[in-house]
Amino acid sequence: MKIIYSITRYHVFFLLFFVLLTYGCGKDEPVSEIIVSNEIIEEEQTEELVDQLPDLGNSDAEAYYKLGIDTIKMGNFELALKAWNKAVEIDPTMVKAHSYLGRAYYTRGMMDEAIDAYKKVLELTPEDSNGYINLGIAYRYNEMYDESLDALQKAIEINPISAVANDEIGSSLLKKEKFDEAIGAYKNAIALDPKFPQPHNNLGVVYLLKGMSKEAAAEFELFEKLTVKKNAEQAKIMGGGH
pLDDT at residue 18 is higher than 50: no
In whole angstroms, what is the distance from residue 229 CA to residue 220 CA?
A: 14
Mean of pLDDT values over 18-47: 38
Instruction: State the DSSP code for 55.
Output: -
DSSP reduced 3-state for 239: coil
Kindly report the pTM of this predicted structure: 0.76
Residues in the chain: 242
Give 124's contacts (C-beta < 8 A, 6+ positions apart): 93, 95, 98
Instruction: State the DSSP code for 53.
Output: P
Q: Which of 129, 125, 171 lies closest to 149 in space, CA to CA?
A: 171
In whole angstroms, what is the distance from residue 117 CA to residue 134 CA?
A: 10
Percent of residues, the chain, with pLDDT higher than 90 = 69
Give 123's contacts (C-beta < 8 A, 6+ positions apart): none
Give 105's contacts (C-beta < 8 A, 6+ positions apart): 81, 111, 113, 114, 117
Query: Of residues 238 and 224, which shows the higher confidence score?
Result: 224
Give 77's contacts (C-beta < 8 A, 6+ positions apart): 43, 104, 107, 108
pLDDT at residue 31 is higher than 60: no
In whole angstroms, what is the distance from residue 199 CA to residue 202 CA?
A: 5
Give 51's contacts (C-beta < 8 A, 6+ positions apart): 76, 78, 79, 82
Mean of pLDDT values over 21-47: 38
Mean pLDDT across the chain: 82
155-161, Cβ contacts within 8 angstroms, sequence gap of 24 or more: 155/129, 155/130, 156/129, 158/127, 158/128, 158/129, 158/132, 159/129, 161/192
Instruction: State the DSSP code for 74.
Output: T
- pLDDT at 56 (0 to 100): 80
Q: Which domains does the chain have, with CATH numbers?
A: 12-148 (1.25.40.10), 161-242 (1.25.40.10)
- pLDDT at 37 (0 to 100): 40
List pLDDT tens digits, range 101-111.
999 999 999 99
List pLDDT tens digits, range 121-175.
999 999 999 999 999 999 999 999 999 999 999 999 999 999 999 999 999 999 9
Where on the phi/psi map is residue 42: left (φ > 0), alpha (ψ -120 to 50), or beta? beta
- pLDDT at 79 (0 to 100): 93
In whole angstroms, what is the distance from residue 13 CA to residue 65 CA?
A: 20
Task: Give the model's confidence band at 240: pLDDT under 50 very low, under 70 low, under 90 confident, else very high.
Answer: low
Q: Which amino acid is at 166?
A: N
**23-32 core/surface letters (b: 16 or more CB in 10 A; e: else):** eebeeeeebb
